């Protein structure tokens, strides 16, 4: 099973690029996600503020905490619902969109934005500034795009929990006839 | 990244999406002519979803779970995809002397040696055990997605399944986390057409365990493997982390290369 060697070049520690904080990636805006999940549909926003009783019912049904009491939800002119929600992990902040069909079944999930959040020095402008000019004339890359990061260990568990919470929210509040 | 932006001037469009699959976040970035990128991305995710449904260890209805429940009683027929991943996992287990082992749980002492992949395509376990293909299935999903994108005539793409990534058609820099500071990325290699995977215990010291001893593979270093196919890059990180010098022959046979990074900024290149 001998194979041809792979075509790749290791970069030396002092290569043209310097190390930088892992930032994240923006995949889609809310409008792009709406167009992708409900092509051609008119989207109507529905401002919903959950009452304490509704929060309690959702938490009970989904076995998760409701942090955000104001929902970001739209209905689609051709039937269906579109939610934008955020989940927070130990190091990550994920904004995602959930599309439901008219009957409330999952039609699609798109991650809109993924950010890594580290306490302390990674966010500290002074700490970040140490990379600036580390190598004169080097293309400075302060925010590493998650797309090109190997070994990221991103878990989707928080998204799964968020979707469960939104499905309970839809059943108990928004999609209720 | 500048190369991706430059391609916009040639009329091609760059499109990227990320969805939760395989217990992680899978992202796909594609460069293609107008109108071609989105259907190509949908097809890539359909393939990733198919692998997830067949090989999920946690979903009791997955093909793998059904195999785990029944294969010690009678030989079971499996799909082509599962057979391919299982045969790669067993080859890697054999070649690494068990430092990569897809067999977990079941009888004490049960290992990959108790898994029989018959010439008729059926699978049998000699004693009760469970297969966990988590160490290799993500890489296979990335390969299937990339192969599909190539077949559709896509000019350039990157598929990244929670850090197992593969690209073609565009030179770009692959970054890894600094073991001393996982929130910080290090530019590690430049490639136009390769798969890269990294294993490390920096977020969870129990994430990586040496199957033969049960000991942790450590939190203070990472192993990055670069190979033609993501299935090998993904699978090889574990043997490389467990036994760096002992895995040189295995890397060579698979046309792969590796580098270990430690907390002090040290690097050990294996090729």
Contacting residues for A23 by C-beta, under 8 A, at least 6 apart: A115, A116, A142, A143, A144, A145, A146
Query: What does the pLDDT profile of chain B (271 residues) look like in tens digits?
Result: 334 444 445 678 889 999 999 999 999 999 998 889 999 999 999 999 999 999 999 999 999 999 999 999 999 999 999 999 999 999 999 999 898 999 998 888 899 999 999 988 899 999 999 999 988 999 999 999 999 999 999 999 999 999 999 999 988 899 999 888 888 888 999 988 999 999 987 655 555 566 666 665 556 889 999 999 999 999 999 999 988 989 999 999 999 999 999 988 889 999 8
CB B228, CB B195: distance < 8 Å: yes
Specify the length of chain B in residues: 271
The per-residue pLDDT for A126 is 64
CA–CA distance, B78 with B50 (Å, rounded to integer):
14
Among residues A68, A89, A111, A106, which one has the least CA distance to residue A157?
Answer: A89
- B220 vs A134: CA distance, rounded Å: 25
Task: Answer whether A119 touches B (CB < 8 Å).
Answer: no
Q: What is the pLDDT of residue A1?
A: 47
Angle subtended at Cα A31 by Cα A25 and Cα A37, rounded to the nearest 5 degrees? 90
At B220, which helix (H) or strand (E)?
A: none
A:56-115 residues touching chain B, CB 8 A cutoff: 90-91, 94, 96, 109-111, 114
3-class SS at B240?
A: helix
For chain B, the first-to-last Cα distance in angstroms comes to: 28
Whether A10 and B188 have beta carbons less than 8 Å apart is answered as: yes
Mutate to test the interface with A, among B173, B176, B221 (most CBs of A within 10 A): B173
Q: Verify whether the Cβ–Cβ distance A116 to B183 is below 8 Å.
A: yes
For B:47-106, CB contacts with A below 8 A are 91
Q: Please tell me which of the candidates B160, B183, B207 has its beta carbon nearest to residue A21.
A: B183
| Distance from the B74 Cα atom to the nearest Cα atom in chain A, whole angstroms | 31
Contact B196 A36 (CB under 8 A): no
Angstrom distances, CA of residue B77 to CA of A40, B104, B125:
44, 21, 12
Phi, then psi, of B25 in degrees rounded to 5: -105, 120
Q: Indicate the residue of A114, A150, A153 with minimum beta-carbon distance to B175.
A: A150
| Distance from the B181 Cα atom to the nearest Cα atom in chain A, whole angstroms | 9
Per-residue pLDDT at A121: 55
Report the pLDDT value the prediction gives residue A41, as an integer from 0 to 100.
Answer: 96
pLDDT of residue B197: 96
| Predicted local confidence at residue A77, as pLDDT | 97
What integer pLDDT is reported at residue A4 of this predicted model? 57
Number of A/B CB contacts below 8 angstroms equals 184
CA distance A88 to A21: 19
Residues for chain A: how many in total? 177
- From CA B64, how far away is CA B54, in angstroms rounded? 6
For residue A119, the model assigns a pLDDT of 62
pLDDT at site B2? 38
- Closest residue on chain A to B28 (Cα): A147
Q: For a pLDDT cut of 70, what percent of chain B falls above it?
A: 90
In the three-class reduction of DSSP (H, G, I as helix; E, B as strand; rest coil), residue B36 is classed as coil
Contact A27 B190 (CB under 8 A): no
Q: CB–CB of B160 and A146 under 8 A?
A: yes
- The B residues from 158 to 197 touching A (CB cutoff 8 Å) are 158, 160, 162-165, 172-178, 181-197
The mean pLDDT values, 10 residues at a time, for chain A of 177 residues are: 65 70 89 95 95 97 94 96 92 92 94 81 59 48 79 82 95 88
Do B187 and A15 lie within an 8 Å CB cutoff? yes
Residue contact B185–A19, C-beta within 8 A: yes
The β-bridge relationship of strands B267-270 and A48-49 is unpaired
Q: What's the rounded Cα separation, in Å, for the pair A17 and B175?
A: 10
B267 touches chain A (CB under 8 A): yes
**For the residues of A61-124, what is the DSSP string, one character each?**
HHTS-----EEEEEEETTS-EEEEEEEE-SSEEEEEEEEE-TTS-EEEEEEEEEEE---GGGT-
């Amino acid at each position: 099973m001998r194979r041809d060697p792979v075509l790749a070049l290791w970069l030396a520690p002092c290569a043209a690029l310097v190390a930088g904080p892992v930032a994240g990636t923006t995949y889609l805006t809310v409008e792009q996600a709406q167009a992708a999940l409900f092509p051609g549909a008119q989207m109507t926003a529905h401002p919903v503020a959950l009452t304490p009783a509704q929060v309690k019912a959702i938490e009970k049904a989904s076995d998760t905490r409701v942090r955000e009491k104001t929902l970001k939800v739209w209905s689609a002119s051709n039937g269906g619902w579109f939610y934008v929600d955020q989940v927070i992990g130990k190091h990550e902040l994920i904004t995602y969109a959930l599309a439901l069909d008219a009957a409330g079944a999952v039609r699609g999930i798109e991650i809109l934005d993924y950010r890594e959040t580290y306490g302390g020095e990674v966010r500290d402008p002074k700490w970040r500034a140490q990379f600036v000019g580390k190598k004169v004339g080097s293309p400075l890359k302060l925010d590493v795009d998650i797309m090109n990061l190997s070994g990221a260990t991103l878990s989707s568990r928080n998204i799964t929990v968020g979707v469960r919470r939104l499905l309970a929210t839809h059943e108990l509040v928004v999609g209720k006839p | 990244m500048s190369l991706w932006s430059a391609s916009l001037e040639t009329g091609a469009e760059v499109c990227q999406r990320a969805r939760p699959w395989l217990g992680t976040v899978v992202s796909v970035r594609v460069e293609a002519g107008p109108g071609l990128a989105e259907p190509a991305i949908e097809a890539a995710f359909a393939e990733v979803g198919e692998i997830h449904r067949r090989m999920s260890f946690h979903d009791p209805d997955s093909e793998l779970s059904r195999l785990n429940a029944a294969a010690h009683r009678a030989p079971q027929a499996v799909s082509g995809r599962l057979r391919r991943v299982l045969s790669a996992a067993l080859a890697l287990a054999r070649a690494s002397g068990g430092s990569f082992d897809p067999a977990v749980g079941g009888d004490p002492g049960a290992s990959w040696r108790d898994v029989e992949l018959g010439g008729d395509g059926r699978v049998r376990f000699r004693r009760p055990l469970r297969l966990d293909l988590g160490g290799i299935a993500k890489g296979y999903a990335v390969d299937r997605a990339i192969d599909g994108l190539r077949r559709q005539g896509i000019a350039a793409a990157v598929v990244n399944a929670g850090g197992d990534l593969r690209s073609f058609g565009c030179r770009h820099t692959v970054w890894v986390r600094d073991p001393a500071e996982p929130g910080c990325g290090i530019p590690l290699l430049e490639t136009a057409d390769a798969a890269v995977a990294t294993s490390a215990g920096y977020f969870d010291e129990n994430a990586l365990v040496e199957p033969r001893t049960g000991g942790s593979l450590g939190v203070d270093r990472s192993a990055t493997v670069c190979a033609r196919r993501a299935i090998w890059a993904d699978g090889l990180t574990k043997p490389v982390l467990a036994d760096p010098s002992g895995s040189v022959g295995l890397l060579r046979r698979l046309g792969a290369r590796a580098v270990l990074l430690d907390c002090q900024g040290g690097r050990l290149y294996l090729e």
